[in-house]
Chain A
């Protein structure tokens, strides 16, 4: 079992650009959540997808959007990047009573 995988590992973008991050959940998991972890902070919940629908959303602007595919994999899209969007983006998949996290994508906005 490969666990939760994320791509790419690292990414550098400039202000105003758009970015897409990808996540493949742990085998058998149908729910995917995205978190943003800024430097020195704990992960902050962005949103959660289940059955291809956004089920819960945290306090993030509409520039942050997502998608879940029929195979349960997911994408996080961020438009009009700001310097403050620089962070580690974590994907977590869940089933039953546990959330498993991927290694994250490190996004740097210059």
Chain B
């Protein structure tokens, strides 16, 4: 039972353009969401998060949008850079905050072409 879904295994974007990565979840009790980036041979690195009381959170080139009624969140990267090429994981926290159990999606491989 996949509670967090990333339906696009891969995404290719030109440098300088916008990258949009999508994530859907099934459990309406989830109240905190995170995005992690993972390079090969490294552990996931925290990117940005959003609480369910908000619908948008911005940090530099990264913005996360949350649509609770649709149980959908997205990560926008503008402008995309070749160094952004990595696997991006969406994660949800069922117990509040980011320090407890996280439920991850299967990831989206982003390739930013120079």
Contact = CB atoms under 8 A, between A and B. Distances in A.
A44 B97 CA distance: 17
Contact of A42 (B42, B99, B106): B106
Interface in B59-103: 89, 91, 95, 97-103
Contacts of A33: 101
Interface string A73-110: 00000000000000000101011111111111000000
B99 A31 contact: yes
Tell me which of B43, B45, B91 has the highest count of chain A C-beta atoms within 10 A of its own C-beta: B43
A87 to B, nearest CB: 13
A16 interface: no
A58 B1 CA distance: 13
Provide the main secondary structure of the chain A interface.
strand
Tell me which of B44, B91, B95, B105 has the highest count of chain A C-beta atoms within 10 A of its own C-beta: B44
Contacts of A90: 43-44
A8 B3 CA distance: 31
Contacts of B91: 42
A103 B97 contact: no
Interface of B: 4, 6, 36, 41-46, 49, 89, 91, 95, 97-107
12 contacts: A42-B104, A42-B106, A43-B44, A48-B101, A56-B100, A94-B99, A95-B99, A97-B49, A98-B46, A99-B46, A103-B42, A104-B43
